[in-house]
Structure 1
Amino acid sequence: MKEQSLRSVPGIPTVLALLLALGGALALFIYGIREHDAAFIVGALILGVVALFGMCGFYMVEPNQAAVLSLFGEYKGTCKDQGLRWNNPFYSAKKISLRVRNFESGKLKVNDLDGSPIEIGAVVVWQVVDSAEAVYNVDDYESFVHIQSEAALRAMATSYPYDQHEDGKISLRSHAAEIAKHLTEEIQERLAQAGVNVAEARISHLAYAPEIAQAMLQRQQAGAIIAARTRIVEGAVSMVEMALEQLSARKVVDLDPERRAVMVSNLLVVLCGERGTQPVVNAGSIY
């Protein structure tokens, strides 16, 4: 079922014409009564009934709204002309909003790729682009959008880990743009048959489930400490190597292997320690 455009008649001129017809019917009826002419009376009644029935063909179309028209259950077309419009009074009109809308899903509890329970929620921005599909392909398109969006969010959340454990690996917390793109595509695929276009979908809430939140926080802290220590050790080793090379190149001091080992140890303690070191001054000979 695809949307088809249907032309309509401007409402204001049609109202005036029908009112004029009603006035003419009333005048004919009065004339028929005075002249005792049954033909005028019957004609006036027929004209009045037709004009009154024609009044049933009016409907209002607001900006960014569409009227889906059907005749005895058969889809005839969609009118998007704004203002007061008129069509066949036998048509039934169903109004559909074409405005951009958004909703925020509830906090869903799912397992990520690593099997850890997490809470996740998303904001979805959507718009009806095919009124016929929205009305006839699904029972309730608004409910369909909400349910399918949450289903897509669940499916997407199980495809990625919460945290990035390896460089270059996409995770829910570290790659917001990639996750939003995947979520948008996942929802759009499910809503295509409902005549809905998904403009944007982004995660609005992301957290570990309460029962493991404390343990995962400690894990994150441990990972951060290990990463920081790794950087510190790498920098310290580079600085010690540079110091020994410059001392040797400038012939400041000639160190035997034992003294070099002591110097390396002292430098690493100074560079890697969490607190400031207290120097010990040797007043005697170093030998």
Structure 2
Amino acid sequence: MKNQQEYEDLLQPELLNSVDGLVLMSKMIIGSYLLGQNQSIKTGQGQVFRQYRSYQPGDDLRLLDWKMYARSGRYFVKESEIDTNITVKFVIDASASMLHEDQPKGSKASIKKIDFARLMATTLAHLALEQGDAIGLFAINENQLVQLAPRQHRQHLHRFVYELLQITPGGKFPAVDDSPLLYHNQGGNKEMIVFISDMYQHGNEIYKTLEQLSALRNEVLFFHLMGNNELELNYKGTVTLEDLETGQRVQVDSQKVRKQYKEELAQHLNKIKTQMLDLEISYNLFSMGEPIDRALNDFLVKRRF
């Protein structure tokens, strides 16, 4: 797809590290995703249809009627009686392991997990704002807290992206007892928590945080971000692997250990998936080599809860 190739061509550090670059890329990804949709997006239960009207910038994209577009060539939205706007809070793992680098398929440059997490968060936040939702941000490690209160204004996206770029990965993800209680629902409105992390932990600190979030009875959507080189161990020959959070190094023959590594990784990922299921958290393993519109689809499916 042409739009997909254009998006992959833009996966470069200079764009991923600027407010305008991230906003531009999010627009391209959302536009490409919507062009690929061929079904009317349902509005969810409890809404009463009133009338059609012409689409205006900023309207809820879920209300676009694709059948009307097919017949008329114009965009129309369905107006309804009930406002279903929610607050979407993004929680970003800012520990040192998010500095891990990989080269996504189709990209000409290697990028870090934190770069990909920023792009994913920007795209989902952009879409949430277009739907009329409020967006907020928390990014934490044991040394840093980046926090942005939820707002519903469209211009809030640039502030959101600016704060994303202030994240400096380092150290470990804090234990629940060492981190402030950031995640409680202050307004009492329906909330969705979007947690983006590589799930690298030392004492179940990320799992315990997710356990705390799930106890709040809000929808929790977890994106487990991994590089292709982590999933496939696709290195050649003997390599030295370093733990970015402890500094520990180990030398391995990638060809000799690849089979055992992948078997143990599969068991590890299955355990994580089971833990998330027990917490009633929507778990999504996301490779940096996959098109980001898959994350959009997962988000939209849960957004219509």
The TM-score normalised by the length of structure 2 is 0.21
Bigger relative contact order, structure 1 or 2, given CA contacts below 8 A and separation 6+? 2
The TM-score normalised by the length of structure 1 is 0.22
